[in-house]
Structure 1
Amino acid sequence: MLALSKERDNFVPEADDLVVELRSVSKYYGEVAAVSNTSIGVRRGELLCLLGPSGCGKTTTLRMVAGFVEPTSGSITINGVDMTRQPPYRRDTGMVFQSYALFPHMTVAQNIEFGLENLKWPRDERKARVEEMLRLVELPHLADRLPAQLSGGQQQRIALARALAMRPAVLLLDEPFSNLDAQLRLRMREELREVVRSVNVTTLFVTHDQEEALAMSDRIVVMNAGQVEQIGTPGEIYESPETPFVAKFIGWCSLLKGTVGPDGSFTSAAGLRLDGNWSAGSATAVIRPEHVRLSTDDASGPSYQGRVLQAHYYGGATRIVLDLNGEQLTMQERFPFWRHPKTGDLLSVTISTDDLRVIPAEEDRR
């Protein structure tokens, strides 16, 4: 049962019961650690995302849960049962592969029915379940088509229907939108989220797309070099990154290294000062584009003169890289076309410190 959190605009489980639990899991290939000492829990009914750059270990982690890769050490439980050494068909999971992996010689209906037939479901029940799944993904009119006759989005939905047909305890998604164009990706991620919500299935999915993770997830696991950097809700990951890697990987930001003085203010290595109430010591300031705004007559806080180094027009907004006192900051503003900034222009900006994140240096966080 899912409840809408009053504190954040995303769904969070009411109970902390874990459907999937990885305890100190590692996977080595020779002396190379693909995943190192990783512990993750997936709560009942939630949609948890494994997010990170290529080679960070997220797909290896997913495949260990699925049973296609055996951990070198650690344990994996599903619904409290140790599945660490069990084959995939004993794990009560359904998987949607990056390539969808539909059988090309079978019709849509036959693809969905395939797993049910292997489980010896009675014929009438199989047919009823196939029809139910086709209605769920809103494609009942395509039951007799072959995969080659479907669009990419339709193939993705059929692969999802096939995975859900057997009522798995856990749904596993490996980069499910990577083969779709930008506009279709946006539409399909909303449709997939609605389908997953409607059947209330615990879901673990992999992506390297930060926007996708923020839009779809209840919680995000940010991975880097085979290890977990941070686990939290989308809001926590974006607004309160715990490491410079998480801050830089999630969305756009400028990272300024410097020092917080006894008065709580931050001074960057190049001398840019930001007033605040942070803990003294070496630190990194995380400045998002929304923290940097054009100065106005009624702006609170000091103004800074910055020279435009780059200006990239994205239609709804322009992303600008400024040089402020030797520091490079990224801002995003909506400019009318007749006064679009150019390289070399001077802009007066204000940096909002209300929600600005300052991360203590690694040695100070230990």
Structure 2
Amino acid sequence: MLALSEGKEDAVSESNDFVVELRSVSKLYGDAAAVADISLKARRGELLCLLGPSGCGKTTTLRMVAGFVEPSSGSIHINNIDMTHQPPYRRDTGMVFQSYALFPHMTVAENVAFGLENLRWPREKRDKRVEEMLELVELPHFAQRLPSQLSGGQQQRIALARALAIKPAVLLLDEPFSNLDAQLRVRMREELQEVVRSVNVTTLFVTHDQEEALTMSDRIVVMNAGKVEQIGTPGEIYETPATPFVAKFIGWCSLLKGTVDDAGAFTSTAGLRIIGKWSAGPATVVIRPEQLKLSADGAPGQRQQARVLHSHYLGGATRVVLDVNGEQLIMQERFPFGRHPQHGDVLDIAISTDNLRLIGDA
């Protein structure tokens, strides 16, 4: 990737590590809260993901940062300046929309230069910047093409080049890969990461795709019903979910409700007992597929017999839904060729209690 010339000076001192800060921000539509009292910070150069199901408020939050939606309460700060009531063009942000929103009558070069023209950049400086941006996204020979002559992945890169051309303090991405096929999504994720890292721009991106969030983010903001459920690194979100919703939304898992007795063992409502050393009281245990193994393979853990309810062949592995003492657990295993489990088969499994997550009853 090309190193950019004419680097932008930081608007704040290096000691101020946060570029974006939302303080108790809410957005109401009538009596309905699209976003309810959320607070978060994005560090300089960080890739921060807003993740959640449709209707959880993540896109509304992104559009409030961009200035397209005004909060009902709270404040939004960019580079330590209150931007809550400032219009989009004064916020020092660049946005890539879900549909890319390229101007169909303009060439690629004209699309990339659009923001620079609005900022009154001199022609020679503007042309140099457009050339830099097309080199950055590895499309230097596409300058005179129209958007209709580009593939979906190429349009996405041009939209990114246009957003970065103005040297924004914050890059905002709204479901940037939703229009791409599965294999192209993976490749574009890697390319976007490389571009964003190379310019060290603080990036907020919205997605409902767990894999995108886990592979791209420095930190993830998990949202549900307009509220923040948890903020953490991908590892923290997956391995130590704060709530049952986070556990269920990020990756595959089984949630077992029950009680921890005075001896520290957990017993589910269906009667599955898991020996441990947990604090007594009502709790929910989170069991990930990788915590179940075939005991015949010498896997350590608590032995159980399991009956196969469903089996889904995924190529590299098989996902199996099991009945274990009245509870449904999910195991993902690579079985020998031609020996994939079928409905009704009985398997001997081991439940590993290492790093088994219990969520206390709040």
TM-score calculated relative to the size of structure 2 = 0.95
- The alignment status of 1:206 with 2:206, answered yes or no, reads yes
Bigger CA drift: 241-250 or 272-281?
272-281
- The alignment status of 1:114 with 2:114, answered yes or no, reads yes
Structure 1 residues 120-269: aligned runs within 5 Å = 120-269=120-269
Q: Aligned with 1:339: secondary structure?
A: coil
The count of aligned residue pairs is 349
Cα distance in 2 for partners of 1:93, 1:229 equals 26
What's the offset of the Cα at 1:15? 6.9
Asked whether the equivalents of residues 285 and 357 of structure 2 are also in contact (C-alpha less than 8 Å), the reply is yes
In the alignment, which residue of structure 1 is the partner of 2:49? 49
Cα distance in 1 for partners of 2:103, 2:140 equals 18
In the alignment, which residue of structure 2 is the partner of 1:291? 291
Alignment RMSD: 1.1
In the alignment, which residue of structure 2 is the partner of 1:8? none
In the alignment, which residue of structure 2 is the partner of 1:11? none
Cα distance in 2 for partners of 1:186, 1:243 equals 29
Q: Write the deviation string for residues 180-211 of structure 1: whole angstroms up to 9, x where unpaired.
A: 00000000000000000000000000000001
Cα distance in 1 for partners of 2:162, 2:299 equals 56
Q: Aligned with 1:296: secondary structure?
A: helix
TM-score calculated relative to the size of structure 1 = 0.94
- The alignment status of 1:88 with 2:88, answered yes or no, reads yes
Any stretches of 5+ residues in structure 1 without a counterpart? Answer: 1-13
* Residue type of the alignment partner of 1:295: S
What's the offset of the Cα at 1:275? 1.4
Cα distance in 2 for partners of 1:300, 1:246 equals 27
What's the offset of the Cα at 1:167? 0.2
* Residue type of the alignment partner of 1:304: Q
What's the offset of the Cα at 1:274? 1.1
What's the offset of the Cα at 1:270? 1.1
Q: Aligned with 1:34: secondary structure?
A: strand
Q: Aligned with 1:195: secondary structure?
A: helix
Cα distance in 2 for partners of 1:348, 1:31 equals 53
* Residue type of the alignment partner of 1:47: L
Kindly tell me: are residues 312 and 297 of structure 1, through their superposed partners in 2, closer, same or farther at Cα, counting changes over 3 Å?
closer
Any stretches of 5+ residues in structure 2 without a counterpart? Answer: 1-13
Cα distance in 1 for partners of 2:93, 2:299 equals 54
What's the offset of the Cα at 1:296? 2.5
* Residue type of the alignment partner of 2:227: Q
What's the offset of the Cα at 1:288? 0.3
Cα distance in 2 for partners of 1:302, 1:236 equals 25
* Residue type of the alignment partner of 1:251: G
Bigger CA drift: 295-304 or 318-327?
295-304
Q: Aligned with 2:259: secondary structure?
A: strand
* Residue type of the alignment partner of 1:52: G
* Residue type of the alignment partner of 2:222: V
Cα distance in 1 for partners of 2:87, 2:261 equals 56
Cα distance in 2 for partners of 1:176, 1:297 equals 43
Bigger CA drift: 163-172 or 335-344?
335-344
Percent of counterpart pairs with the same letter? 79
Cα distance in 2 for partners of 1:169, 1:78 equals 8
Cα distance in 2 for partners of 1:15, 1:175 equals 31
Q: Write the deviation string for residues 245-265 of structure 1: whole angstroms up to 9, x where unpaired.
A: 000000000000011111211
Bigger CA drift: 262-271 or 70-79?
262-271
Structure 1 residues 17-56: aligned runs within 5 Å = 17-56=17-56
Give the 4+ runs in structure 1 shifted more than 6 A.
none
* Residue type of the alignment partner of 2:311: A
Kindly tell me: are residues 15 and 178 of structure 1, through their superposed partners in 2, closer, same or farther at Cα, counting changes over 3 Å?
farther
Cα distance in 1 for partners of 2:96, 2:176 equals 7
In the alignment, which residue of structure 2 is the partner of 1:307? 307
Kindly tell me: are residues 268 and 76 of structure 1, through their superposed partners in 2, closer, same or farther at Cα, counting changes over 3 Å?
same
Cα distance in 1 for partners of 2:44, 2:112 equals 25
